[in-house]
Structure 1
Amino acid sequence: MRVIVVDDSLLAREGLARLLREAGIDVLAERTDAQGLVPLVEAERPDVVVIDIKMPPTYTDEGLVAAADVMEAVPGTAVLVLSQYLETAYAMRLVEEFPERTGYLLKDRLSDIMVLVDAIHRLADGETVIDPTIVNRLLSRRRRIDPLQSLTDREREVLALLAEGLSNRAIGDRLFITDRTVETHVTSVFAKLGLGDDGATHRRVLAVLTFLRNAEASSTAVPTEP
């Protein structure tokens, strides 16, 4: 697995690169900002670019802009955005524009380097990975119009864990159910959301995107009077 790390913080950048190398990830380059990132990606062809969301010169959304530039210029490159900020709008902006091979994780939640390594591998395989904290926040908000209303409670749980980037086996371990039962729930979710048989990975991404769109839309809806 080949990655490029982009972060303006010396400690964060070098610490992350060292931990990834120790975990068997080939870190091709380290950058302090997004300038010249696209030519570097074109030359090195990494599997994944790991990038901070707020960098010079404005410290706003340079990471998101750079992520979009990379994925437009070099299709097939996955991008994992790391952030110190719990901003659901940033995560939604990313996956709405690029629903495959994109991830958004919170730095403070990365207490185990293998969580990051697993996310990198999933992104390279074409999946979407969203931090569980963001998923939980979206789930906790009231829904006025719910296109997922046909799902059972268990199917909603499975879909939420899909949004976190968990594999079927990991979902089964979390919910204490068998892999076969997870597969049954996933298949049912696909069917209820009208997702045809276009490949398991593609349907997983579409299901997650449907879930995130619904949750984000619900967060801005005005609750009806009881």
Structure 2
Amino acid sequence: MPEPQTAPRPLRVLLADDSVLLREGVRSLLEDEGVQVVAAVGDGDQLLQAVAADPPDLAIVDVRMPPTHTNEGLVAALRITREHPGVGVLMLSQYVAREYASELLGTESPGIGYLLKDRITEIDGFLAAVRRVAAGGTVIDPAVVRSLLRAPEQQRLVARLTPREVEVLEAMAEGLSNRGIGERLFISQSTVEKAITAIFDKLELTGEDGTSRRVLAVLRYLEDADGA
């Protein structure tokens, strides 16, 4: 007789936000989708203790938490990426904060994301981002990318991109695959691949690791805009 198949282990997530209402809302949303919420905490110290005690697959972290409500969540998240590189980190922010996104995405740790809290209400997209970051992918809120595109200073390298290449880069920032980008923009996969190659060339990103260059391409936006 064939051996019975074991059910796959559920995704394990830790929540960190000082808003009880938001924590419980996200907990309910995730658990309804079969995600195991291993802990829900309200500040950076509790977050670090919970990760150290039982590392989850993913930590969903508010940027601003007690006591000062400035960048405690970000500081804790950066420490997690250093001390627990196997734990994905998805940051949530009330507002677009390019400097926070740049600092987080500048780490070499896999599994990094930065979303505005408004995205939680876009349930399918939020859940896709949770799974993508937990699996080691990168997700950046499109509002962050759009804010950079609206900046009055046009970055020297980024300004080389065509409007179509900008659209492709924004979709890359959301973590979409080549196929997903093609479906989003109604273009063929070969057209997507040509656009990505052009983006790499125009942003002067060399190397053989396509995944790393995808992240670097988005970072180029963040770094050039912050340094302009």
TM-score, with normalisation over the residues of structure 2?
0.85
Of 9, 27, 33, which residue of structure 1 is paired with 2:19?
9
Structure 1 residues 165, 216: closer, same or farther in 2, change over 3 A? farther
1:52 paired with 2:69, answer no
Matches within 5 A, 1:30-109: 30-97=40-107, 100-109=110-119
Instruction: Kindly tell me the number of residue pairs found equivalent between the two proteins.
Output: 217
Q: Which has the higher contact order (CA 8 A, sep 6+)?
A: 1
Give the conservation status (yes or no) of the 8 Å contact 2:165–2:195: yes
Point out where structure 2 has 5 or more consecutive residues left out of the alignment. 1-10
Q: Which residue of 1 aligns with 2:161?
A: 151
How high is the sequence identity, in percent, across the aligned residues? Answer: 47
The Cα RMSD (Å) is 2.0
- Compute the displacement of 1:97 (Å): 4.1
1:133 paired with 2:125, answer no
Distance 1:86 1:135 in 2: 9
Give the conservation status (yes or no) of the 8 Å contact 2:112–2:138: yes
Q: Which residue of 2 aligns with 1:202?
A: 212
Distance 1:85 1:153 in 2: 26
1:122 paired with 2:132, answer yes
Structure 1 residues 212, 127: closer, same or farther in 2, change over 3 A? farther
Q: Which residue of 2 aligns with 1:28?
A: 38
- Compute the displacement of 1:22 (Å): 1.0
Distance 1:215 1:85 in 2: 17
The code of the aligned residue for 1:194 comes to L
Give the conservation status (yes or no) of the 8 Å contact 1:4–1:48: yes
Q: Which residue of 2 aligns with 1:222?
A: none
Distance 1:112 1:94 in 2: 23
Structure 1 residues 76, 123: closer, same or farther in 2, change over 3 A? same
